[in-house]
Structure 1
């Protein structure tokens, strides 16, 4: 498969981002990152996207986030990129800022486009955000660009701007979260300015041939949030500017669509079809692919240009190779349970994230993954890390 900039991807398997939470206390990448991504590179995917790399040490989404503000970790980053690009794998760094979705345990005063707090159900877990000044916005744009430049220098094969799941770029796009009355707020053209300026800065720094992709919500699934029609308009604008690939997702902490549904669902295919009628850049759908047949069908019908896979590759990092060799039928990502229905309803998505992060750690340590449905161990780990406030709905990265 060939990207618009002429870069060839060896196959149509797209390992979507999952937060590894493996960084050390100084938010630096470690040996476990190198071993984990070497395993995925050996697993056969054409594109592998890292977990979210944060651009600001004072703005973290969770413990264990990697932060890149400068080149001080260049030696480790080069080793990460070298191992992650083995066998012709395209290793792309996902670049992110949490905005107001930085928990109390991480931020005393998170920042956002406007001072709009999280909804009532999550307010106890997140401090109210402070409105960013215009100068701070410009500085954050520079941080995104700088992180991308470091990624290229280290040897990563591309970058992905995280514009989904309620993080900062998504907050700027959403009329619910962005109530500014300057050039970064109001009509959609202004609300997408933060994103377009990040992209312009990256493109100018990285060059025309370096892949830049975007992960974007199809919708926030919120009555006064970012809509499907607005999402299509944003993609059309980004494609016109030269974006190389779009990955479709949806929801945020308050509407966690990516953490709901059954194994038989393939999320966002209807939206992807509408999108593919509007733009000619590759469109990737991630979420819900479990069987060989559903993957082949989506490609044959032109519903997606690549098969986006996340959690199944936390259970089997060599899944693409197995599929291509014919040694695969389907994989089941089972729901975890404590055996207590009311508790399961409350902690399900959050504990699921911890369970898969635990599997990534096992892969990074050279161990076999452990597939089970017992929610107690990830639940206790979650509480030990974040405290009781962590028992709030969340979604995939």
Structure 2
């Protein structure tokens, strides 16, 4: 099953069922353009057996980033470096999709203290984020046009498809959730109106790239927060996306406030689900009952048998791997050949209370530190591979060390950015 090709509704065929899911790379240059490190890293993954490579967040607007170091694709000045990135992957057998995103209120204050959002609902995490400004009709129209423009640039540069990031609490996801969308106009209220922004973005993107160019959406199965976006909401949005001509839906879940996309122990899951590897598999199975469009599930897959089972019995079409690709860039090829049955590393050394710090750290703050530390450990691995070096799985230091590395590096990169017009 893992080696079986998959043909998307637009007609593009992926040569197997293992994809490299998106992770934030934070490797852009001072102008927010991709660098040779992106080309080197993705060429390495392309040679590693994956059928599909999803880039990390590519921003549509240089004023608003997920983090300093994001690639921004908002005008033609980025085309040469985007083309070099895409061309590096062409000799491999992998398709390269650009993940297109806007952070909304999840824009660090070090980048912008007044980010845009559906409503002025501040994200209160350690004072890291500013107070958002509720988007006007002009803001909404401009942002939709920016998604389409970035997709057009991706196609011109030679990328094989795009993915609209509508999960993890970023802007498209914020419009979908009643916790972050308090609007009373046509863009808020009912689920149909909250989904209007995503559907309008998909329509504009499709018009920009044409019917034969793949468009995927990363969609939360749920926010895992009281009063938020639910599984039932996700199923209905998936139905609308299928009606609108989506080619692939990747299932994930959570927001910065509930980082289910980083944790196996998500709220509301049955005990049987927690024992399984794929965090969102039960949710994806429910969504599969609602749509026939190809589904990709990312999060927690570590054993080949579990991947095969997901494909064979749960109706999943594509297995997404992220962190294992950072410590073993050949993991897809090794799984496909049968060389290995298990991938990934033990992350306990990256966590407060379980690693070298030795403290019995608990609570929300420790959870946040742990989450950031694990993300940054894998960013460090990607940077190594971007320099042409091998991953270093022995480098698991401590959670606070990686947190400080993130904070200091983000500040340094933010200060070094060459802003438009500067």
TM over 0.5: yes
Contact 1:53 1:96 in 2 (8 A): yes
1:361 paired with 2:383, answer yes
Contact 1:264 1:290 in 2 (8 A): no
1:100 paired with 2:105, answer yes
Secondary structure of the residue aligned to 2:203 is helix
- Aligned mate of 1:269, from 281, 303, 319: 281
Contact 2:250 2:298 in 1 (8 A): yes
How many angstroms apart in 1 are the aligned matches of 2:261 and 2:180? Answer: 20
Gaps of 5+ in 2: 1-5, 266-274, 412-422
- Aligned mate of 1:252, from 255, 260, 263: 255
1:48 paired with 2:53, answer yes
Residue deviations 1:121-152, cap 9 Å, x none?
x1511111111111110000000000000000
How many angstroms apart in 1 are the aligned matches of 2:407 and 2:159? Answer: 34
- Aligned mate of 1:13, from 15, 18, 35: 18
Cα pair distance change 1:68/1:217, threshold 3 Å: same
1:75 paired with 2:87, answer no
How many angstroms apart in 1 are the aligned matches of 2:289 and 2:114? Answer: 42
Contact 1:338 1:344 in 2 (8 A): no
Structure 1 residue 264 displacement after superposition: 5.3
Residue deviations 1:177-225, cap 9 Å, x none?
1111111111111111111111111111211110000000000011111
Secondary structure of the residue aligned to 2:291 is coil
Secondary structure of the residue aligned to 1:332 is coil
How many angstroms apart in 2 are the aligned matches of 1:365 and 1:191? Answer: 42
Structure 1 residue 102 displacement after superposition: 0.7
How many angstroms apart in 2 are the aligned matches of 1:95 and 1:332? Answer: 27
Moved over 3 A (4+): 343-346
Alignment of 1:377-392 (within 5 A): 377-386=401-410
How many angstroms apart in 2 are the aligned matches of 1:386 and 1:69? Answer: 21
Structure 1 residue 63 displacement after superposition: 1.1
- Aligned mate of 2:175, from 172, 176, 188: 172
How many angstroms apart in 2 are the aligned matches of 1:239 and 1:183? Answer: 22
Contact 2:20 2:53 in 1 (8 A): yes
- Aligned mate of 1:192, from 192, 195, 207: 195
How many angstroms apart in 2 are the aligned matches of 1:346 and 1:177? Answer: 20
Contact 2:64 2:107 in 1 (8 A): yes
How many angstroms apart in 2 are the aligned matches of 1:279 and 1:313? Answer: 29
Secondary structure of the residue aligned to 1:74 is helix
Alignment of 1:20-35 (within 5 A): 20-35=25-40
1:230 paired with 2:233, answer yes
Matched residue pairs, number? 385
Residue deviations 1:60-107, cap 9 Å, x none?
111110001111121111111111233231100000000000111111
Alignment of 1:294-373 (within 5 A): 294-333=306-345, 334-335=347-348, 336=350, 337-339=355-357, 340-342=359-361, 345-372=367-394, 373=396
Structure 1 residue 169 displacement after superposition: 0.2
Gaps of 5+ in 1: 388-397
Contact 1:165 1:217 in 2 (8 A): yes
Contact 2:60 2:73 in 1 (8 A): yes
- In the alignment, which residue of structure 2 is the partner of 1:38? 43
How many angstroms apart in 1 are the aligned matches of 2:367 and 2:225? Answer: 21
Contact 1:54 1:96 in 2 (8 A): yes
How many angstroms apart in 1 are the aligned matches of 2:319 and 2:223? Answer: 22
How many angstroms apart in 2 are the aligned matches of 1:165 and 1:24? Answer: 25
Contact 2:49 2:94 in 1 (8 A): yes
How many angstroms apart in 1 are the aligned matches of 2:387 and 2:215? Answer: 31
How many angstroms apart in 2 are the aligned matches of 1:51 and 1:115? Answer: 26
More moved, 99-108 vs 139-148: 99-108
1:374 paired with 2:397, answer yes
Secondary structure of the residue aligned to 2:168 is coil
- In the alignment, which residue of structure 1 is the partner of 2:147? 144
How many angstroms apart in 1 are the aligned matches of 2:307 and 2:90? Answer: 24
Residue deviations 1:5-50, cap 9 Å, x none?
1111111011100111000122111100000010111111111100
TM-score (norm 1): 0.94
- In the alignment, which residue of structure 2 is the partner of 1:393? none
CA RMSD of aligned residues (A): 1.5
